[in-house]
């Protein structure tokens, strides 16, 4: 039976946690200053799309931008689909959405710096990476982030402040809370970096999928050293403190229920897929807890193998070996 995980009932402990996290990331930019920064190409097409006043203009723009048309808007070159999209941006509410996005991101300089710092670090870790072109748009909540070929397309409207009156209607609140201006770069980098994680399609065990998530988060925390770990995984600070205080209990559930080598898709989903809570462990245990535990195991593995590079880690598809050699066991 699932038990409720408990936060330590200690005000001083809670304050210490907050102070520790704050101090850890204070002056982070100075400590992690990037030299020889790689310049990126940014294309802000919000105004261009907003000023397309006729369907013929809109259709011509889609034809001239096939990646935007096919990969981001998924038109499949259908006139009917393009007409639907044009009616979306011609909607009276689109004006207000467009102006709110422009107001929120009127200066993109800080995001540009974050992206350039992140890709410079990524290039140092994975020299084979081709630096992408980044395009931003107001999509009418059609799509958030799409990576295709050497392009990243970002729907800025997904990243408005959490108190904005404009919100996508098809995303649950527990996921929607992750979308904010501060999380634009982390979420985009997460989508982009997932392509570098080699996987073994023949290994469908729970632990293999957990470690695939763990490798991605390990890469992200290196590329984004000034982003708090709970933001990287999409938890609140309280959830992050809770699960770290109860790490031994969570690990014990996986051991007692023999979950690490589980292959049943339905069971795996309970611990790895998007859910508001992992109710099988506790009514206050956040969803995707297996991904967090996989991250912990990867950190233990890398601590015990200091000569292994991140590129070697990402290329290693023998997750069973990584698991055993991690020597992970919370105390």
pLDDT tens digits along 318-328? 999 999 999 99
Burial group, residue 157, by CB count within 10 angstroms (0-12, 13-18, 19+): buried
Q: Note whether 72 and 123 are within 8 A (CB).
A: no
Band of pLDDT at residue 5, cut at 50, 70 and 90: confident
Residue 39 is classified by DSSP as P
**Residues 322 and 300 sit within 8 Å (Cβ to Cβ):** no
Q: Residue 23 — pLDDT band, cuts 50, 70, 90? A: low
Integer angstrom CA distances of residue 58 from 52, 62, 69, 209: 6, 6, 10, 42
Mean pLDDT across 118-129: 96
Tokens for 105, please give them: 């991101």
pLDDT exceeds cutoff 70 at 8: no
Task: Give the helix/strand (H/E) hosting 41.
Answer: strand 41-44
CB 219 within 8 A of CB 196: yes
Confidence of residue 36 (pLDDT cuts 50, 70, 90): confident
Please, which residues have CB within 8 angstroms of residue 190's CB and are 6 or more apart in sequence?
A: 216, 220, 232
pLDDT at 265: 97
pLDDT of residue 24: 53
- For the chain, give the mean pLDDT: 92
pLDDT value for 208: 98
Would the pLDDT of 214 be above 50? yes
Where helices occur in 177-264 by DSSP H, the ranges are 184-193, 206-223, 229-233, 237-245, 247-256
State the pLDDT confidence band at 331, using cuts at 50, 70 and 90.
Answer: confident
pLDDT confidence of residue 13: 43
Measured between alpha carbons, how far is 109 from 91 in angstroms, rounded to an integer? 30
pLDDT tens digit string along 247-280? Answer: 999 999 999 999 999 999 999 999 999 999 999 9
Q: What is the pLDDT of residue 37?
A: 87
pLDDT of residue 154: 98
Residue 4 clears pLDDT 80, i.e. is over it: no
Model confidence at 185: pLDDT above 70:
yes
Please give the pLDDT value at position 92: 87
How far is 159 from 186, CA to CA, in rounded Å? Answer: 11
pLDDT at 31: 66
């Amino acid at each position: 039976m699932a038990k409720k995980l408990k936060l330590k009932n200690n005000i001083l402990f809670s304050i210490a946690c907050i102070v520790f996290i704050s101090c850890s990331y204070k002056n982070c930019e100075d400590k992690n200053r990037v030299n020889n920064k790689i310049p990126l190409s940014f294309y802000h097409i919000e105004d261009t799309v907003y000023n397309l006043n006729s369907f013929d203009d809109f259709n011509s723009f889609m034809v001239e931008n096939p990646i935007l048309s096919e990969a981001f808007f998924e038109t499949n070159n259908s006139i009917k689909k393009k007409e639907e999209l044009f009616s979306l941006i011609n909607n009276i509410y689109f004006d207000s959405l467009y102006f709110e996005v422009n107001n929120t991101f009127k200066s993109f300089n800080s995001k540009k710096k974050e992206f350039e710092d992140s890709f410079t670090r990524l290039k140092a870790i994975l020299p084979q990476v081709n630096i992408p072109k980044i395009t931003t748009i107001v999509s009418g909540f059609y799509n958030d982030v799409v990576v295709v070929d050497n392009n990243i397309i970002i729907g800025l409207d997904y990243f408005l402040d959490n108190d904005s009156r404009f919100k996508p209607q098809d995303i649950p609140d527990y996921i929607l809370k992750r979308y904010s201006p501060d999380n634009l770069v982390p979420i985009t980098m997460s989508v982009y970096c997932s392509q570098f994680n080699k996987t073994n399609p023949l290994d469908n065990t729970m632990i293999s999928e957990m470690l695939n998530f763990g490798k991605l988060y390990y890469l992200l925390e290196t590329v984004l050293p000034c982003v708090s770990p709970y933001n990287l995984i999409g938890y609140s600070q309280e959830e992050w403190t809770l699960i770290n205080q109860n790490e031994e209990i969570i690990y014990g559930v996986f051991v007692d229920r023999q979950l690490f080598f589980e292959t049943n898709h339905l069971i795996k989903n309970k611990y790895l897929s998007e859910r508001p809570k992992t109710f099988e462990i506790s009514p206050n245990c956040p969803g995707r807890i297996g991904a967090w535990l996989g991250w912990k195991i990867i950190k233990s593995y890398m601590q015990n193998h200091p000569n292994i590079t991140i590129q070697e880690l990402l290329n290693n598809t023998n997750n069973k070996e990584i698991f055993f050699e991690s020597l992970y066991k919370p105390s």
